Chains A and B, each alone.
Chain A
Amino acid sequence: MTKREVVILVGLVVALSVVFVLSLALGSTPIPLRRVVLALMGASPHDEASVIVVTAIRLPRSVTAMLAGASLGIAGLQMQTLFRNPLADPFALGISSGASLGVALVVLGSGYGAAAAFGTAMGMRGDALITAAAIVGAALVLGLVLVVSSRIANPTTVLILGLMFGYAVSAIVTVLVGASQPERLQQWAQWGFGSFSGVTWQRLQLFGPLTFFGVLIASATTKQLNALLLGENYARSMGLAVRRARLLTMLGASVLGAVVTAFCGPISFLGIAVPHLCRGLLGTSDHRVLVPAVVLMGSAVALVAQIVSLLPGNAGVLPLNAVTSLMGAPIVVAVLLRSRRGAFAG
């Protein structure tokens, strides 16, 4: 690691810390920074309400945002390197569509009553049921894509395959939406907006470990990812078991994407934008530097998106999904235009 890279990484840690504290202070009721820090340290005798707001509402939300951002960032980096495609993201294999289908079936479909009854029997209500549906839907699509793609040699074909699966599944969702009753559409739309607020401390007990260890495992693949920079042929000639690495990477990245989608709804663009941001910032493709950078940057960008989504104040919140896209699109364009040769150019 060069000195410049270390400086940038340290800078990212500082930026993340600042944004993290800001995300706890800002919101419908701004809380002074001093009180936020006191509340975090468990000592704020003067104001019970602000302690509750910070520790019970904002802290789990911010932790969720960071975990989700880190997950999407690193999963996006893995997919972009694996497919050598700047547009690949954690949802490249149709995961997002699969999750949508699961949720749509529960929320919109005629199976709602049955699913709700089943969920109640299992002790799940509302959000938990939707999460379970999203995971089942994503897992089904992922399973299908992985089974078919294990027979395919060319990575680009796999990418197209995932795209086609995604289209087909989205079409089914559209049919469901078209046939559903208006009052249920509200709940469906709500899910589609995406949100970090739905993950309470209780749900974090599942979401936290899943994403934390997912990111940890993904971070341990830097050597393989670096070998893949030269393409699958060279990677194989240097001793990488390419087929297995591809399958495991696709599985890991997709699971991360699916878990985030299940708990937070579809959050687009973070997975594409964060790796590009880091490459642009660091000026390197070396994953030994990119992986920590993507984890830090993903967390920070997700927190910023979370803060921006609360900007309207009392007038409500902006859909998170719209915020990430509106922030992400110009950033990606700027990064691509700035690097004259362009990522993956040629």
Chain B
Amino acid sequence: MTPYAAPALCADVELALRTRDLAVGYRTRRSRRAVLEHVNLGVRAGELVCLLGPNGIGKSTLLRTLAKMQPALWGSVELGGADLRSITHAELARRLGVVLTERIVVEALPVRRIVELGRYPHSGWFGRITDRDRRVVDWAIDAVGARQLADRDFSRLSDGERQRVMIARALAQEPVLLVLDEPTAFLDVPSRVEVMGLLRQLTREGPLAVVVSTHDLELALRTADLVWLVMPGGEMTTGAPEDVVLSGGLAQAFEGRHIRFHPEERSFRLLTGDRGEAVVRGSGLRAALVAAVLEREGYAVVAASDESALSVEAHECGWHVLTDDGEGNGADYASLAAFLRGRRAVA
């Protein structure tokens, strides 16, 4: 834990969720194997938290424990001030909604019926839907912007639309906390952005707290109010995305042999070897694209002109390079990349 988390949380009264010295992991008959230990976290209503960390570090285990889908090894989880162990599953379902990665396969069921399933913890034994239930379902469908999908067959929706509907179903439970385990894992890029944007919007519209795990770091850094970062050793760093960037935690958690975190851009770059420096002359989009090609081919793009640097001019009709041993030009970036690779072969 960073020293940040605990004191800052104690100062606050109303936490939707908090953990006290929580340890999560697996128990067999003989032993307990902790994946994450000494976890002290908190979320307020209206906050969007992104849980980040390398694969297999225990993010899902933590989320499953927060949602009472598996028991804590030690410590406690409190939802709205009440210990999770004292809340029955039925009661919990009225306060906490869950969305998982798994792709739901249901044959022939309209979207509205799926969302109605979210009324499960509020309805009686036979699951009769009242007028109030219907209003909540309508609200949930509108909240995720799925009104035009309401009467369609769930199995005919795209993956992104399905996750939207699953979120609406969780909202129909009228929870104070939404826990989502990699809800965007199978989605294409626009759907990912949409789902994260939707989650952010939900925290802004009502007293809802959202905890979501994701592998989409750059998107998470742009949308989250708070980041919970699990480091490779299992310790956790928390804070606003910018705090986590500044502390170097992100770089430490994810950097590998071929990848490097650029704090200024809050994004990762592929390392492709060092072929010296290059300067781009020109401006605007075309200059940026030329720089992208140079970086991919292993050049460090610098601003200041150096005699030894490769100089590439980006202009309206394409690119132009003048070097000691010749010159090249072309209209598209494939030809620039080919030219740069050709120079490598000569060198």
**Footprint of B on A, CB under 8 Å?**
84, 220, 222-223, 226-227, 229-231, 233-234, 236-241, 279, 283-286, 288, 339, 341-346
Give the chain B neighbours of A283 by CB distance below 8 A.
108
Within 8 Å CB of A229, what residues of B?
Answer: 106, 109, 117
Asked whether B123 lies within 8 Å of A346 as measured between CB atoms, the reply is no
Q: A226-B117, A238-B118, A241-B89 are in contact. Are A284 and B109 (CB under 8 A)?
A: yes
Q: Would you give 9 A-B contacts (Cβ < 8 Å), ordered by A?
A: A227-B120, A229-B106, A233-B100, A234-B98, A238-B93, A238-B120, A240-B120, A288-B127, A341-B155
**B203 close to A (CB within 8 Å):** no
Given A238-B118, A238-B120, A239-B90 in contact, is the A286-B97 Cβ separation under 8 Å?
no
| Cα-based distance from A310 to B168 in the complex (angstroms) | 54
New A-B pairs, 13, CB < 8 Å, besides A220-B126, A226-B117, A238-B121: A84-B105, A223-B126, A229-B109, A236-B89, A238-B120, A238-B173, A241-B89, A284-B109, A285-B107, A286-B109, A288-B127, A343-B107, A345-B107
Asked whether B105 lies within 8 Å of A284 as measured between CB atoms, the reply is: no
Interface positions of B from 154 to 173, Cβ below 8 Å from A: 155, 170, 173
B interface residues (Cβ-Cβ under 8 A, vs A)? 67, 69, 89-94, 96-98, 100, 102-109, 113-114, 117-118, 120-121, 123, 125-127, 155, 170, 173
Contact yes or no, A230 B121, CB < 8 A: no
- Across the interface, name the chain B residue whose C-beta is closest to A242: B89
**CB pair A222 B105 closer than 8 Å:** no
Nearest chain B CB to A190 CB, angstrom units: 39
Distance, CA A95 to CA B73, complexed state (A): 39
Instruction: Please indicate the chain B residues that have their CB under 8 angstroms from the CB of A344 in the complex.
Output: 105, 107
**B13 shortest CB reach to chain A, Å:** 28
* CA A237 to CA B117, docked complex, whole Å: 11
Known: A223-B127, A286-B113. A237 touches B104 (CB 8 A): no
Q: Are A223 and B125 in contact (CB under 8 A)?
A: yes
| Contact among B93, B104, B107, B114 with A239 in the assembled complex (CB-CB below 8 Å) | B93
B93 contact set on A, CB distance < 8 A = 237-239
For residue B91, which residue of chain A has the nearest CB? Answer: A239
Q: Are B108 and A279 in contact (CB under 8 A)?
A: yes
Cross-chain contact B98 with A237 (CB below 8 angstroms): yes
CA distance A342 to B108 in the complex (A): 10
Which chain B residue shows the least CB distance to A241? Answer: B89
Chain A contact residues, majority secondary structure: loop
Complex-state Cα separation, A227 to B173, whole angstroms: 13
Structural contact, B107 and A279, CB atoms closer than 8 A? yes
Residues of A with C-beta under 8 A to B98: 233-234, 237
From A84, A239, A344, residue with most partner B Cβ within 10 Å: A239
A236-B107 contact in complex given A222-B127, A223-B127, A227-B117, C-beta closer than 8 Å:
no
Q: Which of B69, B92, B105, B121 contacts A233 (CB 8 A)?
A: B69
For residue B69, which residues in chain A have a CB less than 8 angstroms away from its CB? 233, 236-237
Q: What are the residues of chain B within 8 A of A84 when measuring CB–CB?
A: 105
- A-B complex: 9 closest residue pairs judged by Cβ atoms: A239-B93, A223-B127, A237-B98, A239-B121, A239-B90, A238-B120, A346-B105, A285-B109, A343-B107
Q: Are B117 and A230 in contact (CB under 8 A)?
A: yes
Report yes or no: B100 in contact with A222, Cβ–Cβ below 8 A.
no
Which residues of chain A come closer than 8 Å to B109, judged between CB atoms?
Answer: 229, 284-286
Report yes or no: B97 in contact with A237, Cβ–Cβ below 8 A: yes
A344-B106 Cα distance, complex, nearest whole Å? 7
Residues of A within 8 A of B89 (CB): 236, 239-241
Q: Which residues of A contact B104 (CB under 8 A)?
A: 230-231, 234
Chain B residues with Cβ below 8 Å from A226 are 117, 127
Given A283-B108, A341-B155, A346-B105: A239 and B126 interface contact (C-beta under 8 Å): no
Q: A240: nearest residue on chain B (CB-CB)?
A: B120
Residues of A within 8 A of B121 (CB): 238-239
The residue in chain A whose Cβ has the minimal distance to the Cβ of B64 is A233
B120 and A345: CB pair below 8 A? no
In the bound complex, how far is the Cα of B108 from the Cα of A341, in angstroms? Answer: 10
Alpha-carbon distance between A226 and B119 when the two chains are bound, in angstroms: 12
Residues in B whose Cβ lies below 8 Å from that of A284: 108-109
Residues from chain B with Cβ under 8 Å of A237 in the complex: 67, 69, 93, 96-98, 170
> Which residues of the other chain, B, contact A345 by a CB distance below 8 angstroms?
105, 107
The smallest beta-carbon distance between B102 and chain A, in angstroms, is 7
Instruction: A238 to B171: give the CA distance in the assembly, Å.
Output: 11
A290 to chain B, nearest CB (A): 10
**Residues of chain A lying within 8 A (CB to CB) of residue B90:** 239
Q: Once the chains are docked, how many angstroms separate the CA of A230 from the CA of B126?
A: 18
Which one of B93, B97, B108, B123 has the greatest number of beta carbons of chain A within 10 Å?
Answer: B108
CA distance A51 to B203 in the complex (A): 73
Q: Is the CB of A239 within 8 A of B92?
A: yes
CB distance from A122 to the nearest CB of B (A): 39
Determine whether the beta carbon of B94 is less than 8 Å from that of A285: no
Across the two chains, which residue of chain A brings its CB closest to B155? A341
Write the chain A residue with the least CB distance to B90. A239
| Assembly CA distance A288 to B125 (angstroms) | 12
A100 to chain B, nearest CB (A): 33
